[in-house]
Structure 1
């Protein structure tokens, strides 16, 4: 089915239920009038505009389009694996893969994502910015993308791909423009390159990771001075900074540097979580990967790190929830396969979130994180990003696995009732 055009006639969506995200309540029955790209009215209108197309979706719940705040569409596939090794891939092939992953993500109900950081040779080209443009122009189907361009990492840092693959010196090195930057002058240049060519968020590796070969999980990798320089460059341009960060010392350094969002935060202390709550620093916990990320084929040293860190990470997420840290949903796909955000929603509930709060993590909190007040709830005047799921997501958030309808900006990309 070709997507229904947003400039077509008005559309009335009818369903058994509609979620009021702010109140955490279901409205029965649910109805939305959509004109163009936006929601014109919530509830059954007294009078329908001439030519209105009525879509009766049946016994489903209407939700705002969901948002995943940490993905890498240029890696992985339907089961997060690739039949190719990195040296067999080029930027064109990675982009074609990302087109497929973007379509899958949209069809699973995720209408907005942050693509957090390329780490591959591209000659400085920001592939995720190009993909965003293609989607926005309607050339390919996919979610709205907030692109980071190249992740900023030090030599041997967590997102230095030559570290991941244990390459010999001189094999596939990355330039400063491609994100490998050391010292204040280089990190400023790296950030400026991403901003110049279209990044809308800056991704930095502030600490080591579980799958890093160079040192213990969570060890701080950038100095305090370098972190402050990165944040200064981004903030002066009006962009937020997201930091891959696991260790407590590195997290505190990132927060003190003014970084806006911590990715993972697996080894956070109570004091650091309290500081995050006090300052409003966001956390993208990526907690489902600690249960489902396959590590059996990893280096034995990395398997041992995962066995140690992952249980502690799950407990850390529960403490963050209890302390009121602002948590936005992120899967770290393909660590969790693309389009499986329901796994993260369910994991957040297991960690102690009410289902309504988990859904807010994927809607209103995510919208706040990316400063996008035009989406995240079903309300008049907002973008018509709407999905439908069976059952009651407040009773079982797992029903978000079974998306049956997807509309983005007034265009229908999936409607199972029509066999599409």
Structure 2
């Protein structure tokens, strides 16, 4: 395997990469515009954009760089709508949260970002961390380090004791610095202040925790955690600042409140009901199911001592329901985005979500479109990413065989180009 992962390549050698056209010969191309596959296609990249797509294998010019993917299936770079690059599941994850400083978190996040990019995910939406995720986004954009294109919410906005309150599980004598709690709100006024702070921090999205959560050290993982007036203040203020809102939500009541208030995406949706489905369709909101996270948490909960005792029953219950709820929503016509909650499971395994989605009844072509075209629409980036089309950024990946026949193929991406630069080739 040849992995072009030296940071200096992106910083110092970009001019040499961009000085020539890159001609990519694709054995099969799933371009992300629809669910079909084209055979024997040439994609031509200049600088960081796709400038031509031609049937057959077009002759290359003498100065062109040629990449031969005639034995592979080529696809747009994948998009994961729900990751947490700053951390990763482990038996001592709560201890790490207390012990690690911001520099530790940032180095871990950069490592996880590289792993994610090498798995074929060229763009991710990072939904909650310490704020190091904002710095990582900026460093990647500047070419200082390597990683996927990141859109981030910075810190999550939660209620006191709610999923996302960083003081959960810590005795009062171990006081956190005030900055650690600046996303914990308890009124409409504090909601507005939190949104304005996120805007000041430079976030791309807002993440709120509309219900309890599985991994927070709290008893109830399903109950609603914001009042309607708080949700109204959060979403109206976010929209004023040009920001969309993603709502973590497992339980039905919190989901309904968030949907009525106007969130763009619901994350997880583990215990949705028929009224939730009706609201999804009325409001045009998207479900980002994260089936892999629910199943992984359930598996980890069966390991003695892996989670806090309050977490175990929540993880077991959610793991049983999350795939079933996705199937119900999909069959009812709810719009589906692709997201995994990476960090709840080991980074780099994101494509296992395709297996779970197809198990639940979604055809693989539709699952791939969810991870490309649909996600680009959610991010308001359809003119830049999400498909292999002329004029779009050259985010291109390849796998060894046909994923429409075998979804597990996506778990072994053998070629990764992001923004016109090749980072992995095998």
Name the TM tier (shorter chain): over 0.9
Indicate the residue corresponding to 1:188 in structure 2. Answer: 192
Aligned pairs for 1:37-52 (under 5 A) are: 37-43=48-54, 44=56, 48=60, 51-52=63-64
State the Cα distance separating 1:415 from its structure 2 match: 0.8
CA contact (8 A) 2:337 2:374 kept: yes
What is the 5 A alignment of 1:175-254? 175=179, 178-254=182-258
CA displacement, residues 132-180 of structure 1 (integer Å, 9 cap, x when unaligned)? 11101111110000011111011111011221x3433552255487311
State the partner residue of 2:72.
60
Give matches, 1:393-412, under 5 Å.
393-412=403-422
2:337 corresponds to which of 328, 331, 342: 328
Map of 1:378-397 to 2, 5 A cutoff?
378-397=388-407
Q: Is the 8 A contact 1:244 1:263 kept in 2?
A: yes
The equivalent of 1:159 in structure 2 is 164
Residues in 2 aligned to 1:86 and 1:23: alpha-carbon distance in whole angstroms: 43
SS at match of 1:25: coil
Task: Check 1:96–1:61 CA distance in 2 against 1; reply closer, same or farther (3 A cut).
Answer: same
Deviation at 1:30, TM superposition (A): 2.9
Distance change (3 Å), C-alpha of 1:237 and 1:177: farther
Match of 1:13, SS state, is strand
Deviations 1:16-62 (A, max 9, x none): 11113233111111321000111111125756456111111241111
Secondary structure in 1 matching 2:218: coil
Match of 1:105 in 2: 116
| RMSD after superposition | 2.0
What is the CA deviation profile of residues 220-257 of structure 1, one whole-angstrom value per residue up to 9, with x for unaligned ones? 11111101111011111111000111111111100111
Conserved? CA contact 2:244–2:264, under 8 Å: yes
Is 1:128 the counterpart of 2:133 in the alignment? yes
| Aligned counterpart, 2:267 | 263
Contact conserved, 1:17 with 1:60, CA < 8 A, in 2?
yes
Q: Note if contact 2:73-2:401 (Cα within 8 Å) is conserved in structure 1.
A: yes
User: CA separation in 2, counterparts of 1:97 and 1:189?
Assistant: 30
- Rate the CA distance shift 1:84–1:213 in 2: closer, same or farther, 3 A: closer
- Under a length normalisation based on structure 2, what TM-score does the superposition of the two structures give? 0.91
Q: Encode CA deviations 1:92-136: one digit per residue, 9 max, x unaligned.
A: 110011110011100110000011012x4xxxxx32221111101
Q: 2:29 maps to which residue?
A: 18
**Equivalent in the alignment of 1:123:** none
Task: Give me the whole-angstrom Cα distance separating, in 2, the residues matched to 1:225 and 1:209.
Answer: 21
CA distance in 2, matches of 1:80, 1:388: 34
Task: Show structure 2 runs of 5+ residues with no match.
Answer: none
Deviation of 1:83 after TM superposition, in Å, equals 10
Contact 1:18 1:31 in 2 (8 A): no
Structure 1 position 11, deviation (Å): 0.2
Moved more, 375-384 or 56-65: 56-65
Please state whether the residue corresponding to 1:23 is helix, strand or coil: coil
